[in-house]
Amino acid sequence: AQKITQTQPGMFVQEKEAVTLDCTYDTSDQSYGLFWYKQPSSGEMIFLIYQGSYDEQNATEGRYSLNFQKARKSANLVISASQLGDSAMYFCAMRRPSGGYNKLIFGAGTRLAVHP
């Protein structure tokens, strides 16, 4: 069965430092997509970054980059130069081709706290 594992319930980082949030996934599919979302206390799920399983380059979006290691089935999110506004829950998710790419499977999330 497909599964997303985020082993860090909570992380702390000093402002302006980089932080890595871990995500491992389990799937037998060859084609899939990996996502990271940020969820502040307001509740909205904010899309951060996407990585396709066939993408050869690691995805980057501004201060966010995805360290994709396909053989290890990991898709860690790296946030560079942390800001106070980065404090939130972060969710890793996978979209499967089965069923037409219709659903995301989420991990349990990591709560990030950025300290000044």
**Interaction between residue 97 and other proteins (CB under 8 A):** no
- For other proteins, the closer of residues 16 and 70 by Cβ is 70
Which of 77, 91, 112, 114 touches other proteins (CB under 8 A)? 91
- Smallest CA-to-CA distance from 110 within 83, 80, 89 is with 89
| Residue 21 · residue 79 · CB < 8 Å | yes
- Nearest approach, Cβ of 86 to other proteins (angstroms)? 18
Which of 8, 11, 50, 63 touches other proteins (CB under 8 A)? 50
Listed ranges 17-25, 33-41, 67-75, 79-87: which one lies at the site for other proteins (CB under 8 A): 33-41
Distance CA 49, CA 92 (A): 10
Provide CB contacts within 8 A for 42, sequence distance 6+. none
| Residue 23 · residue 77 · CB < 8 Å | yes
Note the residues at the interface with other proteins (CB under 8 A).
4, 33, 35, 37, 42-47, 50, 52, 91, 93, 95, 99-100, 102-109
